[in-house]
Copies of this chain bind each other. A is one copy, B any other.
Amino acid sequence: MRLGAGQPVLRADAAGSDDVRRANLSAVLRRLHFDGATSRSDIVLATGFNRSTVGSLTSELERAGLVRERPGAVRGKGRPSNVVVPVSTSVYVLAFDVTTSGVAAALVGLGGYMLQVRRRLHRTSPHEAAAVVALVTGLAAEMQARAPVGALCLGLAVSVPGSVRQPDGLVRRSPHLGWHDVPFAAMLRTATHGELPVVVGNDGDLGAVAEHLRGAARGEHDVLYVRGEVGVGGGVVIDGELLKGAGGYAGEVGHLVVKPGGRLCSCGARGCWEAEIGDGAIIRAVGRDPRESDIEDVISDVAAGNRRALAGVRRTGEWVGVGLASLVNLFNPSVVVLGGSLGALYPTMEPTLQVAIARALGPGREQARLVRSTLGSDAQLVGGAEVAFADLLDDPLGTLAGLDGPAGNVVAVCEA
């Protein structure tokens, strides 16, 4: 999957070929999805297609119901260029973020608009995968019942904090959910009668996709994303592509060993980054008991200016920095995005982290801008939604044609 709007575009010169037509429709819809309403003349400028090609492409997308055109404002002399708008109620995806505490869900329309957002706590232990499946499909049904009339569902994407095998969505291990070889995507497909594409992804990977496409790293091609939570997840975008590795497990930044012989990690090793900077470590560092307090307590203490909390967070920041320096040397990112609890505590850690980044090699550190997530706890939903939209953006008409039911009809096939 190529992410984002920077695709190489096939020219219409060799017209007549279906491939070229598909690629051109893709280029236009992708731009509208990420940039929102755009005048035809700006589409001409951005794609390099001529005016009549753009007109024919947007008309075709309009006939499919994916965009509509409205007259642009009159500026100066000459006829104003029509403005093309993605129709957020034409197609949508359902995105879910499974964490140790519960499930967040969003119905996201074309153009990336979050039309509904819901959050639900686990009623039983998250260890029971079947209960999590029920929670997800229940939320899917609720959201679909209130989906825009006539809108088509393209699929589900679910974020989990664990190692996910691709493309089949088997969760190989998630120590925090207590899952081992759980065929989560297959279970979700069964529960939704196999009627929709289901994608399951790692939370760090989806966060990286989100920040790259719509967040703090928008426009950057080399991105490192780190999410602090009970565990520490991460994802890496390299030259605009998500780093996957041989089995889809790459980017496990939480298990970088920063302190040999250090704290016991959920993975069984000692001194993993996760064990030193995960929520539990931060809670202990501020002098609280992880069995009685959670990370929200720490965030409140810090906001209130509690000196012990500030000192503890800064001390943890030093270990955050040790890992970041290594990662900057390995990935040479142009931007490092901190999310989750690390994003929330970023203002307190920032001076410590800047010192730590300065320990990385000169050439790499000069480029590594350190920023806080702008998507916060929505990052996994946003990233999942983009993965679920990917097929439509690659082949707009072909993907619509492949769905059950004709475009424009109510299709509530997600219902459990």
Report Cα–Cα, A165/B363, bound state, in Å.
8
Is residue A250 within 8 Å, beta carbon to beta carbon, of the partner chain? yes
Q: Which of A260, A322, A326 has the most CB of B within 10 A?
A: A326
Is residue A74 within 8 Å, beta carbon to beta carbon, of the partner chain? no
A173: B residues at CB distance < 8 A: 361-363
Is residue A246 within 8 Å, beta carbon to beta carbon, of the partner chain? yes
A203-249 interface with B by 8 A CB criterion = 220-222, 238-239, 241, 243-249
Q: Which of A62-70, A138-146, A331-339 participates in binding chain B?
A: A331-339
A364: B residues at CB distance < 8 A: 163, 245, 247, 249-250, 252
- The oligomer's copy count stands at 2
Query: Is the beta-carbon distance between A361 and B255 smaller than 8 angstroms?
Result: yes
**In this complex, what residue of B is CB-closest to A171?**
B363
Is residue A360 within 8 Å, beta carbon to beta carbon, of the partner chain? yes
Report Cα–Cα, A221/B243, bound state, in Å.
13
Report Cα–Cα, A364/B247, bound state, in Å.
7
Q: With A267-B361, A269-B359, A363-B165 as given contacts, are A251 and B330 in contact (CB-CB < 8 Å)? A: yes
A250: B residues at CB distance < 8 A: 222, 238, 330-332, 364
23 contacts between A and B (CB under 8 A): A14-B17, A172-B362, A173-B363, A220-B246, A221-B246, A238-B250, A239-B241, A243-B331, A246-B333, A246-B334, A246-B367, A247-B367, A248-B332, A249-B364, A250-B331, A251-B332, A255-B325, A255-B329, A256-B329, A256-B330, A257-B258, A257-B322, A257-B326
Query: Is the beta-carbon distance between B238 and A245 smaller than 8 angstroms?
Result: yes
Is residue A253 within 8 Å, beta carbon to beta carbon, of the partner chain? yes
A322: B residues at CB distance < 8 A: 257, 260
Q: What 10 new A-B contacts, CB under 8 Å, besides A238-B245, A246-B334?
A: A163-B364, A222-B250, A238-B238, A244-B332, A246-B332, A247-B332, A250-B330, A255-B326, A255-B360, A327-B330
A367: B residues at CB distance < 8 A: 246-247, 249
Is residue A259 within 8 Å, beta carbon to beta carbon, of the partner chain? yes
Range for the number of chain A residues in contact with chain B: 35 or more
**In this complex, what residue of B is CB-closest to A172?**
B363
**In this complex, what residue of B is CB-closest to A333?**
B246
A314-347 vs B, CB cutoff 8 Å, 1 = contact: the mask equals 0000000010011101111110000000000000
Query: Is the beta-carbon distance between A238 and B243 smaller than 8 angstroms?
Result: yes
**In this complex, what residue of B is CB-closest to A252?**
B329
The answer, among B251, B325, B330, for a CB contact under 8 Å with A269, is: B325
A330: B residues at CB distance < 8 A: 250-253, 256, 327, 330
Report Cα–Cα, A359/B366, bound state, in Å.
33
A251: B residues at CB distance < 8 A: 330, 332
A244-285 interface with B by 8 A CB criterion = 244-253, 255-260, 267-269
